[in-house]
Amino acid sequence: MKIELTRQKVHNEFAKKVELISGQNLFACYQCGNCTAGCPVAFAMEVGPHEVIRYTLLGLEEEALGVNTFWLCASCLQCTSRCPKGIDIARVMDALRMVVLRKKERKDHIQIPEFPEGFLEKVPQIAFVSGFRKFLS
Amino acid sequence: MAGGDKGEGKVIAELDMDYLYFPGCTLYTKAKNFDQTARNCSLLLGFELKELKDWTCCGATFPLATDNIMALLPPSRILAKAREEGTALTTLCAICFNVIKRTNRLIQEDGEKRDKINSFIEKNYQGDLQILHYLEILKREIGFPQLKEKVKKPLAGLKTAAYYGCMLLRPFEEMGFDDKEKPTLFEDFLEALGAKATEFPYKIECCGSFQSVGSPDVATECAYRILGSAIKNGAEAMVSTCPMCTFNIDHKQSDIKQKYLDFKPIPVFYFTQLLGISMGLDYQTLGFEQNAVDPLPLLKEKGLL
Amino acid sequence: MGDNGGFIKKAMVIGGGIAGISASIDLGNGGYEVVLVERLPSIGGRMLQLSETFPTLDCAQCTLTPKTVETGQHPKIKLLTYSEVEQVEGKAGNFVVTIRKKAGYVDWEKCTGCGLCQQKCPSKSPSEFDRGMGLEKAIYTLSPQAVPNKPVINPSHCRYFKEKKCRVCEKICPVGAIDYEQQDRFVKENVGAIITAVGFDLIPKESFGEYGYGEVPDVIDGLAFERLNSASGPTTGEIRRPSDGKIPKEVVFIQCTGSRDPERYMPYCSRVCCMYTAKHARLYKHKVHDGQAYIFYMDIRSTGKGYEEFIQQGMEEEGILYLRGRVSRIFRDGEKVIVWGVDTLTGKKVEVAADMVVLATAIVSQKNTKDLAGRLGIKTDDYGFLTEAERKLRPVETDVEGIYIAGCAQGPKDIADAVAHANAAASKVQGLFAKHS
């Protein structure tokens, strides 16, 4: 669990990409955890949003992208509305999604063929339109 | 023109504004009851919802990636076209409201993106359309005291929990709908209808939204917590203004029941359905067939049918 | 009264808290006349509201009262309490200050401080001194040891002023000191130097929507906790929660409430909350042995002498649980107050069903500081704190010669630093006076 930090590693290309897509300054985060404390789906996350931001800042791309945190984000904006440093955490979560979905491999997070029987008919289109935007590459 | 009871033909207090109306894809289909009841009630209240001539889905989510301009095109087109037809646009679905209003703000503030969008959609929209949620029309243009006077059948004894969800309220700087920590607009509306509004702490917590597609179990849990909190505080019915929320807290009650065996179902109304009852509309025109949890037993019990 | 061109070696101190008192005593002992102006009916300031002080856990009143008494009895110090500075003209060596002596509706020349009026007054209203948790009479002194120990009537609580009824105090007063017709009076003082030591306030807990907008009764602020813990307070020192008087067994303390929060509230650190929260938790544990104290913090700032040891002792000896993380939301659920926080050290979301929550709310300037600064011709910063002449090297002077600042009016600080600051200001005044014959 040891990491070696160098100036190249901190705030590396991965972190810069996340900042660019989200438009947020990750250095502003002082890890207060308010986002995690108020997140309605954090109970199901492997690590809270504040931790993923920490991984990103330290340039730990594999760790940051390897957790389910940002996939579970419902973009409810509760974190954003309460961040004392004014960071739009929901944008950071979406940026992490985009980083994965835009990779060359084009791996979708959900697989439509795997939907249960009748799912497509039952669920309203509003859920599919927003869901597909968040989960499909 | 929408069918249904016009209330003894008495259209009260003509407003000089008919509102341009964006229904959104789900209100056209799975949440048709929401759309229909809203139209019927408007007529009783003296205004008409004039559906936009030509519209598409708004995209159902405001793009949070700053470089995603494609996702801004559908709502921008809606705004531009609406502006060609009038100066104010209203909607019922909280998500549509959020997407359209946030896009409008972005167009107002980001000149570079505005130009790019306009050149792509071949319009010249400058961000000067007023966006109003239907509840804002009821509050600001009609006024809740005046609304109360028009109530024929007060929803006496009906303990309703107003579920705001997220998209109406956040981000507050852009939505400006109501206080994001302690909103009261919806409760004031319910009290004007004669119902008893139940306060509950989860009224501003997320229903899980599109996670009903991504991680359905998580959405089920979110819904359970919201309903549990409302029921614990004495609610007999939930009131919603979003087909996404309604899917999660109404239709997914069957999923909740599978996990939490002693969960007792509770009906979820669109606020316009309750408005319709209070305005004296025939309950058979209120689209209760589309509600997942049947609200008729409760309404019957309260003498509201 | 000085001659034209004569330099008056008399000082005015505005504010009778520990800083104002310390400066006044220093100047008085230095042989100079001092006029001490205080807007409340008696001197003592915030320390009057405290129960015990860190890091020694000395009784605040036991430390303060000798000072207030010394000030009240000092031959060189003239006390003008229940008074405010109305206007300031002139310059160093010859300031002409107009002071409004507010009508207290009691003739202090006649009043003997017997206290009968307070005993018999039938009107009880929420006391600002007790942060809304206790009741005070319409005719009141701030504490049993008030200096001066003479009451005033608050017309907005008084039955006579509101409804023309009652008048019990007038009937009961053995020396006929009650005077409902009293008016504000204006006096002028000529002084050579002014020290502004008007103290601080706390950001109201009603500011925090996510914490209930002040409507959850068992969510209180730090000063309110001090009142609960005080023998002279609304619960005679027993830690009982405001809603039902029960003794809380699960108490959550939240640091940085409104501080270090540039997006929503104050961007700065309020400097004293880490220490006083630890103090509160320790005092709570001293009285409620089977209770658990939780402190949500972001950092621990314990920079003074003995401070770090004080914090560590609290953890080790009292079993106070420090949770590193903020609290996103607080709401009432039945008899409990639900706290949604996080422990970033384990990464876990934390929920506590608390009996009582104490918010360490941000220190802000008193609401009339900016106005007063305007009258004095000195500057305040974006947050209403008085601006020093130079941030590092001239901490008690202002841009205006002869006007000095002391204590929390310049910025949040603890008692020891406020006293040092005040001593420095007094020293500067004496230096100024020494330069002129």
Q: Would you kindly state where each structural domain of chain B is located, as residue ranges?
A: 19-134, 143-301
Going from the C-alpha of C247 to that of each of B196, C237, C250, C288, C355, the distances in angstroms are 34, 12, 9, 8, 8
Please tell me which residue of chain C has the smallest CA distance to A28: C262
Q: Which of A81, A68, A75, A84 is nearest to A33 (CA)?
A: A84
Last residue of a domain, one of C329, C347, C363: C363
- The 3-class SS string of B38-99 reads HHHHHHHHCCCEEECCCCCCCCCCCCCCCCCCHHHHHHHHHHHHHHHHCCEEEECCHHHHHH
Q: Are strands C139-140 and C152-153 parallel, antiparallel or unpaired?
A: antiparallel
Helix (H) or strand (E) holding C371: helix C369-376
- What is the mean pLDDT of the segment spanning A56-73? 96
Last residue of a domain, one of C344, C363, C382: C363
- Using N-to-C axis directions, what is the helix angle for C273-287 and C307-318, rounded to 10°? 30
Going from the C-alpha of B301 to that of each of B236, B253, B274, B304, C127, the distances in angstroms are 11, 21, 15, 8, 48
The pLDDT of residue B16 is 59
Please tell me which residue of chain B has the smallest CA distance to C213: B182
- What is the mean pLDDT of the segment spanning A129-134? 94
Residues making up chain A, counted from first to last: 137
In which residue ranges of chain A is CATH 1.10.1060.10 found? 13-103
Last residue of a domain, one of C332, C363, C394: C363
What is the residue range of C154's domain? 116-172
Sequence-separated (6 or more) residues with CB below 8 Å from residue A84? A32, A34, C260, C261, C262, C263, C264, C265, C326
Cβ contact C213–B181 (<8 Å) = yes
Name chain A contacts of B247, Cβ cutoff 8 Å. 123-124, 126-127
* Rounded (to 5) percent helix, strand, coil in chain A: 55, 0, 45
Residues C216 and C353 in one domain: yes
Q: What is the total count of domains within chain C? A: 3
The pLDDT of residue C7 is 95
Q: Is residue C4 part of a domain?
A: no
pLDDT top residue among C261 and A1: C261
Q: How far apart, in whole angstroms, are the C-alpha atoms of residue C43 and residue B33?
A: 68
Helix (H) or strand (E) holding C349: strand C348-354
Residues in chain B with pLDDT values less than 70: 1-16
Cβ contact C210–B179 (<8 Å) = no
The pLDDT of residue C132 is 87
Cβ contact A126–B215 (<8 Å) = no
Beta bridge mates, B21: B51, B90
Cβ contact B213–A95 (<8 Å) = no
* Rounded (to 5) percent helix, strand, coil in chain B: 50, 10, 40
* Rounded (to 5) percent helix, strand, coil in chain C: 25, 30, 45
- What CATH number is associated with residue C309? 3.50.50.60
Q: What's the ipTM?
A: 0.95
Nearest CB to A47; choose among C264, C340, C347? C347
Residues C217 and C352 in one domain: yes
Cβ contact A81–B218 (<8 Å) = no
Cβ contact C213–B201 (<8 Å) = no
For A51-62, the pLDDT digits (tens) are 999 999 999 999
For A104-121, the pLDDT digits (tens) are 888 899 999 999 999 999
Name chain A contacts of B93, Cβ cutoff 8 Å. 126
Q: Is residue C5 part of a domain?
A: no
Beta bridge mates, C292: C250
Q: Tokens for B70, please give them.
A: 């494609």
Residues of C with CB under 8 A from a CB of B: 209-210, 213, 331-333, 338
Cβ contact C298–A36 (<8 Å) = no
Q: Which of C39, C12, C112, C24 is nearest to C70 (CA)?
A: C24
Sequence-separated (6 or more) residues with CB below 8 Å from residue C166? C122, C123, C158, C159, C160
Strands of chain B (E only): list them: 19-22, 49-51, 88-91, 130-133, 159-162, 196-198, 237-240, 268-270
Q: Is residue C179 part of a domain?
A: no
Mutate to test the interface with C, among A51, A82, A89 (most CBs of C within 10 A): A82
Peptide bond into C148 cis (omega under 30): yes
Residues C307 and C296 in one domain: yes
The pLDDT of residue C4 is 54
For B250-285, the pLDDT digits (tens) are 999 999 999 999 999 999 999 999 999 999 999 999
Sequence-separated (6 or more) residues with CB below 8 Å from residue C386? C196, C365, C369, C373, C378, C379, C380, C398, C405, C409, C410
Residues making up chain B, counted from first to last: 305
The class of domain B19-134 in CATH terms is: mainly alpha
Residues of B with CB under 8 A from a CB of C: 179-182, 201
Cβ contact C331–B201 (<8 Å) = yes
Longest pairwise C-alpha distance within chain A: 52
Q: Is residue C163 part of a domain?
A: yes
Residues C283 and C429 in one domain: no
Name chain A contacts of C264, Cβ cutoff 8 Å. 82, 84
Helix (H) or strand (E) holding C363: strand C363-365
Please tell me which residue of chain A has the smallest CA distance to C341: A37
Q: How far apart, in whole angstroms, are the C-alpha atoms of residue C384 and residue C386?
A: 6
Cβ contact B221–A44 (<8 Å) = yes
Phi, psi at residue B89, to the nearest 5°?
-130, 135
Q: Quick one: C378 exposed, middle or buried, by C-beta within 10 A (0-12, 13-18, 19+)?
A: buried
Residues in chain C with pLDDT values less than 70: 1-5
Q: Is residue C178 part of a domain?
A: no
Q: How far apart, in whole angstroms, are the C-alpha atoms of residue C311 and residue C276?
A: 10
Please tell me which residue of chain B has the smallest CA distance to A23: B66
Place of tokens 């002391």: C406
Q: Do C188 and C180 form a contact (C-beta atoms < 8 A)?
A: no
Sequence-separated (6 or more) residues with CB below 8 Å from residue B111? none
Q: How far apart, in whole angstroms, are the C-alpha atoms of residue C168 and residue C123?
A: 10
CATH of region B143-301, choose from 3.10.450.50, 3.40.50.11810, 3.40.50.300, 3.30.470.10: 3.40.50.11810
Q: What is the CATH number of domain A13-103?
A: 1.10.1060.10
Q: How far apart, in whole angstroms, are the C-alpha atoms of residue C142 and residue C134?
A: 12
Residues C219 and C357 in one domain: yes
Name chain B contacts of C338, Cβ cutoff 8 Å. 201
Q: Which of B35, B36, B27 is nearest to B4 (CA)?
A: B36
Q: How far apart, in whole angstroms, are the C-alpha atoms of residue A131 and residue C273?
A: 45
